[in-house]
Amino acid sequence: MRRFGPIAVLLLGGCTAQTELNDPGLQQAGRNFPPMIPGANIASVYGVALRSCPAPGGAVEGKGGPIVRYLGASPANADLCRIQIGNDTVESWYGVWQTGWPGADKAYPALTRLVSESTGSLEGFDVLMAPGYHYHDLIRNEGVEALPLLGKTYRALKLAHYREGFDGNIYRSIVTVWKDLGTGLILYRTYQHIAGAPEVDAPLIPTRIAPAP
């Protein structure tokens, strides 16, 4: 990982993570990113053994949303998951960032580094869409959580994605995902609006979690 200039040192349960970014705008966005608040069921980690993509046949059904069915990894890359969401089939790095979303080329190496880094580590990059839609995107490794869902406790890597607009764009939000270590399923997802026009994106509250048989 390239090192530029420290913007933060985060401490969690004796684990130290030094965060460094290469751009003044990203550095300021890192300072604006609300601090991590570790819960009692969060474990500090330095790298995790993570299944990149769920096996074919896994599914997660969310309240009020389409069923997410996992079709296995792409033959082109083991970290690129093939997913059916409702009637649409997409490809998504680690099941977290779809290839059709702006910034996918930067999100993939950022996510790959975060999986091997310590709790509190931060990766950042800029996403430039149309004028008025420029963003600083930061993703933070928030440790492994013992997440109780539907009568079972999962060990899930918690990743928080902070998006901050710039160049006149005042948008800010945080999307958090929990990815099961053993199956690779995205178990839960939340959206926190902070500023600007909110996105229509309800939390993925699971009503059924079905790993591949």
- The answer on pLDDT for 130 being more than 70 is yes
Identify the pLDDT of residue 4.
Answer: 23
Identify the pLDDT of residue 171.
Answer: 95
Identify the pLDDT of residue 65.
Answer: 78
CA distances from 212 to 54, 57, 132, 147 (A): 8, 5, 42, 19
Identify the pLDDT of residue 105.
Answer: 94
Residue 205 pLDDT level (bands cut at 50, 70, 90): confident
* Tokens coding 194: 């902070």
Q: Does residue 185 contact residue 206 with C-beta atoms inside 8 Å?
A: no
Q: Count CB neighbours of 180 within 10 A.
A: 24
Residue 201 pLDDT level (bands cut at 50, 70, 90): low
Identify the pLDDT of residue 51.
Answer: 94
Q: What is the pLDDT of residues 91-107, one digit of tens each?
A: 999 999 999 999 999 99
Q: Is the dihedral of CA 89, 92, 96, 101 positive or negative?
A: negative
Identify the pLDDT of residue 70.
Answer: 97
For the chain, percent of residues with pLDDT exceeding 70? 88
* Tokens coding 35: 């601090």
- The answer on pLDDT for 183 being more than 50 is yes
Q: What is the DSSP string of 126-160?
A: EEE-STT-EEEEEEEEEEEEEEEETTEEEEEEEEE
Q: What is the pLDDT of residues 4-31, one digit of tens each?
A: 222 222 223 333 333 347 789 999 999 9
Residue 84 pLDDT level (bands cut at 50, 70, 90): very high
Q: What is the mean pLDDT of the chain?
A: 86
Identify the pLDDT of residue 37.
Answer: 87
